[in-house]
């Protein structure tokens, strides 16, 4: 079987700092994809300038089948894929995973919004680490949709990316303004897209006490899918993340992603001071979060390493019975956001049982 060579053109980013980290992050992302769902099919992964433009290059034994191309098409940093033939590049048709239009993710603009490419990156590597990762590109053939939780969801970017992928998505956030902004945006987006859907906000009560609000959305990509009950759900609970276990069934989720407060201007503040550090927040919330994950599920966390060293986060996740993935390409995601934020990703698995 002959060795084939390939080149991925790195997707540009409007964020100059993130764009500078793009090739490094894509190299780590491809490494994780290869170590998980592609099961070591790629070799010689590295970054190379071709015509003065950065590409991610790699090799394979033989051609890439449709399933491998579909998985590569989900990469957050991919812009185009080429097979290398000497000095020439032959385009390969991508097969992006997109049940709903991705402007669901890109339209919203607000201060503090996480870069959309990073949102996708965090969700990708978390899903690939889970037992359902190999099924992501063929989600329609599953008995049920993959289910994702973001217990620190802000205005819902990660929920929207999960929905675009065809997953069911749930989130929690304690900020009522974010909840209201997300509700207004999503209802408007669904109407303008003329999608068949339902959307309502309902109070959540326990023993007569109101403990939160829940936005419940069901949507289908077209009328035929709606009639066939091929719908996807999005839920958003306005409540404190430390109470997450009060709102969902144990073992309900295949993946959990969370972008923790950075401990600087992006953190939750009270009276001008940061309310919780990332580590103290995790210590309070992790027991509830982990209880909501199925055996074989994965938890993906991003945070600012200036205020919480990676080793401390590894120890904390291990103490809650998770299995951190902390070697090889899994350690390649640290990157600068600004002078006070060095962001990293740590993924951990729930033991399969």
Record the pTM.
0.94
Q: Are 218 and 186 in contact (CB under 8 A)?
A: no
**Nearest 5°: phi and psi at 327?**
-150, 165
What is the average pLDDT across 234-260? Answer: 96
Per-residue pLDDT tens digits for 39-65? 999 999 999 999 888 999 999 999 999
Q: Are 179 and 240 in contact (CB under 8 A)?
A: no
What is the average pLDDT across 336-351? Answer: 94
Residue 267 has pLDDT above 50, yes or no: no
If you average pLDDT over every residue of the chain, what do you get?
Answer: 91
CA nearest neighbour of 148 among 191, 109, 119, 185: 119
Distance CA(17)–CA(117), nearest Å, equals 13
Distance CA(278)–CA(261), nearest Å, equals 6
Distance CA(168)–CA(198), nearest Å, equals 14
In order of 26, 29, 87, 117, 336, the CA distances from 47 in angstroms are: 9, 12, 16, 19, 19
Residue 275 has pLDDT above 60, yes or no: no
* pLDDT range class, residue 272, cuts 50, 70, 90: very low
Distance CA(69)–CA(73), nearest Å, equals 6
Residue 112 confidence (pLDDT): 77
Distance CA(264)–CA(257), nearest Å, equals 21
- What H or E segment, with its residue span, contains residue 27? helix 16-35
Residue 317 confidence (pLDDT): 98
CA nearest neighbour of 64 among 39, 37, 41, 97: 41
Residue 10 has pLDDT above 60, yes or no: yes
Per-residue pLDDT tens digits for 203-212? 998 877 888 8
List alpha helices for 36-175, DSSP H: 66-73, 103-106, 116-129, 157-164
Per-residue pLDDT tens digits for 290-332? 999 999 999 999 999 999 999 999 999 999 999 999 999 999 9
What is the average pLDDT across 331-345? Answer: 93
Residue 271 confidence (pLDDT): 37
* pLDDT range class, residue 1, cuts 50, 70, 90: low
> CB atoms < 10 A from the CB of 294, how many?
19
Q: Where are the beta strands (DSSP E) in the chain?
A: 3-10, 42-50, 53-61, 78-85, 88-92, 147-150, 168-173, 197-206, 209-219, 232-238, 253-259, 269-270, 273-274, 293-304, 323-325, 335-338, 341-349
257 token code pair: 């992603």
């Amino acid at each position: 079987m002959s060795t084939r060579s390939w080149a991925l053109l790195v997707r540009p980013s409007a964020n100059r700092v993130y764009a500078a980290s793009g090739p490094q992050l894509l190299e780590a992302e491809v490494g994780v994809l290869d170590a998980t769902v592609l099961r070591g099919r790629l070799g010689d992964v590295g970054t190379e300038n071709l015509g003065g433009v950065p590409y991610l290059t790699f090799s394979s034994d033989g051609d890439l089948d449709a399933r491998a191309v579909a998985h590569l098409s989900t990469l957050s940093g991919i812009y185009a894929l080429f097979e290398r033939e000497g000095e020439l590049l032959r385009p390969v048709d991508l097969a992006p995973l997109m049940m709903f239009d991705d402007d669901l993710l890109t339209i919203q603009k607000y201060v503090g919004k996480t870069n959309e490419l990073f949102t996708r990156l965090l969700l990708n590597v978390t899903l690939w680490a889970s037992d359902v990762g190999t099924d992501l590109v063929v989600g329609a053939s599953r008995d049920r949709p993959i289910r994702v939780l973001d217990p620190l969801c802000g205005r819902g970017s990660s929920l929207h990316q999960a929905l675009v992928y065809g997953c069911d998505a749930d989130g929690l956030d304690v900020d009522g303004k974010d909840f209201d902004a997300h509700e207004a945006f999503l209802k408007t987006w669904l109407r303008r897209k003329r999608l068949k859907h339902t959307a309502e906000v309902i109070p959540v009560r326990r023993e007569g006490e109101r403990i939160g609000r829940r936005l419940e959305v069901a949507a289908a990509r077209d009328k035929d899918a709606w009639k066939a009950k091929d719908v996807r759900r999005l839920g958003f609970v306005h409540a404190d993340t430390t109470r997450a276990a009060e709102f969902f069934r144990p073992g309900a989720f295949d993946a959990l992603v969370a972008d923790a407060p950075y401990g600087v201007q992006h953190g939750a503040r009270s009276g001008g001071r940061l309310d919780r550090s990332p580590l103290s927040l995790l210590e309070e919330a992790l027991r509830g979060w982990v209880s909501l994950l199925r055996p074989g599920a994965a938890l993906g966390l991003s945070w600012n390493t200036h205020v919480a060293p990676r080793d401390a986060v590894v120890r904390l996740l291990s103490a809650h019975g998770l299995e951190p993935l902390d070697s090889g390409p899994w350690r390649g995601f640290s990157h600068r956001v600004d002078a006070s934020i060095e962001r990293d990703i740590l993924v951990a698995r729930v033991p399969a049982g």
